[in-house]
Structure 1
């Protein structure tokens, strides 16, 4: 395969086209995750009755499914290309959503959890949207391409929770069954969008020797810190977000209040993406990540101040903002650590690490909330934020000394 097959116009025209398509796919595909987040723990609580200890298992199963799917996603897209991988994942997401709807109809908790895991597996491919946007981009445009795709989540932040609100009673008396039928429809729309992508495959292994061993790539200080900050940003966000709907219901608020809280949270997660790329270009990746970590600490602080609706919604907004700066900044840092022929496996390995920890945080969330309370969930945020900030400071010092 010749080099021209992998080049892109100086003005990044192809990169912009792909980034826009992926932004819309993120808007539609990303809504599936927010649908599960806003409704699955409530569905689980209804199915379980008096014992709520396992109510967050369906949400956690979705996160675990994402963790399991990260490495297969990288392998499949490395072999068959981005478009094939994304299209297959959209079909899988549709089937998983329909299985979730069926599970609600028959009241099968564990089958419902399995369906949520299937949605998460498909979500592992959607997590690669941000990397795919950077595949055809110049070095200068990469942070913006990533942030464009993440900005598609702004629409997802409206589509997902509003889908829950508008469809939760559409198939009476089965609460939320219609929601998952609608989720299947959204997956089909995402399928139509990704079919128009044009992303060349990475350089042939015969030209590049397959790239460096993963252990060598992972030993780079920048990789270590980028992965650690990505893990911290996403895992803490998952820990607090998963517990919040149940905490709100426990404080006397209604399901619609929780769904609207998740809507504001998802909007805060993706809304800043319109300018996060510009902030990274102006202030640097490390400063943006540090700002995100500080916002996560601010989220926990607000949550500890009270249990009024304003506290929950304010904490969720700060949680989303912190995730945006922390995770997008860490993703941009990661793109500095690999060569073109290494990108798929490095990206997949990073996501495997991130979502492995996110799954652990999500599974822990319900138990922590039930056994130790909302206050403990939020106090856990601070030590991990401090550790990540120390790692960032060490990286900056290390790289300055190496120059």
Structure 2
């Protein structure tokens, strides 16, 4: 009898010594913290990149080049991160994206030190992969939360992005001081900060990677049955249109404000309020999504985005009216991204979600890449009034029908 007793005790000791997988709350906390830290690095691509290009070349026309390749790198990065996530798990894929983003920042710093525009563009493209990880983290949160609390989990991680939206741009001066202290050009400071933030985010996700199981092998799935639901297509369309309208308007709004005599303080304040409206409401809109369902939130997004365009057209020269417009725009973007992300997760079988999520992120990136230049052409030909009316029309023609079809499909708040 002694041997079985000893064997049983040994098995118990080994089992108790094995690392326990993290709880849902722990996983969500680590994801949110990594996203908050990683999002601080986003300001470098959107703020310092254009300034650095102009400083290197002396030509203002090059300001848009780093953003263009950054968006392209983010789109390609979304596919890469999704594929690695499907093979090695979501934390591993997201961590790889952050590591590549940090490598891109290093390349940009080298480009600034050696005055090379080509190297700057290469670094900006690789840096964009970190951007992909920041925004793909919301899908990892949705998978962690499960159907009943999917909206809440999405909201928590999207709310975490507010940390970077608020803190990142305000670190420009501090980053410049850091760069000057180590003998580098002033504008590389935000990239130095982004290196630290991306590496820290990757380390936090590394804790999840070590504790997570590898994904199970993908079973055979009848593609026709998956595609027949129509929900994934509607979700991608909703995500793309939401980003198209937001990026298009905000790409030219600051320039329009300055051209009409508004000072930097007002312009900066309006942009900051818009950024806060994009992310901060997630802590409330996420749980609301769980309660009322994706169809209602999609309808709210369409109405908010359309109202933003109407207000912009009606008060295109008034700073207060534009403040209201971009606030509605941020709230509409928040609702549209939450609803679209939840629909994409709920409307695709688990074994196909990562691929679908990557396509959704690519669609958002392409919309962003096309929205800015198209908005510039619209404003050049018809003014900001035409842009506001055009944005409202796009929403009414595309997003509202999506909301109507979802209302017909989803009779209950549950997202599946």
Are the aligned partners of 1:14 and 1:136 in contact in 2 as well (CA < 8 Å)? no
CA distance in 2, matches of 1:154, 1:115: 25
| Unaligned stretches of 5+ residues in structure 2 | 1-19, 412-416
Aligned counterpart, 2:362: 352
Determine the C-alpha separation between the residues in 1 that align with 2:356 and 2:191: 33
User: Which residue does 1:4 correspond to in 2?
Assistant: none
SS of 1:101 mapped into structure 2: helix
Q: 1:314 to 1:169 in 2, by over 3 A?
A: farther
Distance 1:167 1:200, change over 3 A: same
Shift in CA distance, 260/58, structure 1 to aligned 2, threshold 3 Å: farther
Q: 1:147 aligns with which of 155, 167, 185?
A: 155
Q: How much has 1:369 moved relative to structure 2?
A: 5.1
Determine the structure 1 residue equivalent to 2:187.
Answer: 176
| CA distance in structure 2 between the aligned counterparts of 1:389 and 1:312, rounded to whole angstroms | 23
In the alignment, what sits opposite 2:101? 93
Q: Deviations over 1:7-40 (max 9, x none)?
A: xx9xx98222211111111112222224432443
- Residue 242 of structure 1 deviates from its aligned partner by 2.7
Indicate the residue corresponding to 1:238 in structure 2.
247
Task: Label 1:332 to 1:368 Cα distance change in 2 as closer, same or farther (>3 A).
Answer: same
Change (3 A) 1:31 1:313: farther
Q: 1:85 to 1:399 in 2, by over 3 A?
A: closer
Q: Distance in 2 between matches of 1:350 and 1:34?
A: 23
SS of 1:127's equivalent in the other structure is helix
Paired position in structure 1 for 2:348: 338
Taking the aligned partners of 1:359 and 1:367, their CA distance within structure 2 comes to 14
22-31 vs 391-400, which moves further: 391-400
Partner of 2:303: 294
Contact map agreement 1:15 1:133 (CA 8 A) in 2: no
1:394 has 2:399 as partner: no
User: Offset at 1:371?
Assistant: 6.3
Give the CA RMSD over aligned residues.
3.0
Q: Distance in 2 between matches of 1:62 and 1:178?
A: 18
Q: In the alignment, is the contact (CA less than 8 A) between 2:298 and 2:335 conserved in 1?
A: yes
Question: Is the Cα–Cα contact under 8 Å of residues 248 and 371 in structure 2 kept in the other structure?
Answer: yes
Structure with more helix by fraction: 2
Aligned partner (choices 202, 218, 221) of residue 215 of structure 2: 202
The Cα of 1:82 is off from its aligned counterpart by 1.8
Q: State the match for 1:285 in structure 2.
A: 294
Q: Whole-Å Cα distance in 2 between the matches of residues 339 and 23 of structure 1?
A: 24
Rg (Cα) greater in structure: 2
Change (3 A) 1:245 1:77: same
Distance in structure 2 (CA, Å) of the matches to 1:64 and 1:186: 22
Q: CA separation in 2, counterparts of 1:118 and 1:248? A: 32
Asked if 2 retains the 8 angstrom alpha-carbon contact of 1:226 and 1:334, the reply is: yes
Match of 1:21 among 30, 38, 44: 30
Quickly say closer, same or farther: Cα 1:329–1:166, change in 2 above 3 A.
same
Q: Displacement, 1:257?
A: 5.7
Question: 1:135, 1:199 within 8 Å by CA — same for their partners in 2?
Answer: no
Task: Tell whether the 8 Å contact from 1:164 to 1:259 is kept in structure 2 after alignment.
Answer: no
Specify the alignment match of 1:383 in structure 2: 393
Q: CA deviation at 1:285?
A: 1.0
Question: TM-score, normalising length from structure 1?
Answer: 0.84
Whole-Å Cα distance in 1 between the matches of residues 122 and 39 of structure 2? 19
- Compared CA separation, residues 319 and 56, structure 1 to 2 (3 A): farther
Higher RCO (CA 8 Å, separation ≥ 6 residues): 1
Normalised TM-score (structure 2): 0.82
Match of 2:334 among 321, 324, 340: 324
SS in 2 for 1:136: helix
Further displaced range: 303-312 or 68-77: 303-312
Question: 1:309: Cα distance to partner?
Answer: 4.6
Where does 1:30-49 land on structure 2 (aligned, <5 Å)? 30-45=39-54, 49=58
Q: 1:165-201: per-residue Cα shift (whole Å, max 9, x none)?
A: 5435654694522122122221122122211224444
For the residue of structure 2 that corresponds to 1:380, the secondary structure is helix
Is 1:268 the counterpart of 2:281? The answer is no
Q: Distance in 2 between matches of 1:32 and 1:356?
A: 21
Corresponding residue SS for 1:128: helix
Show structure 1 runs of 5+ residues with no match: 1-8
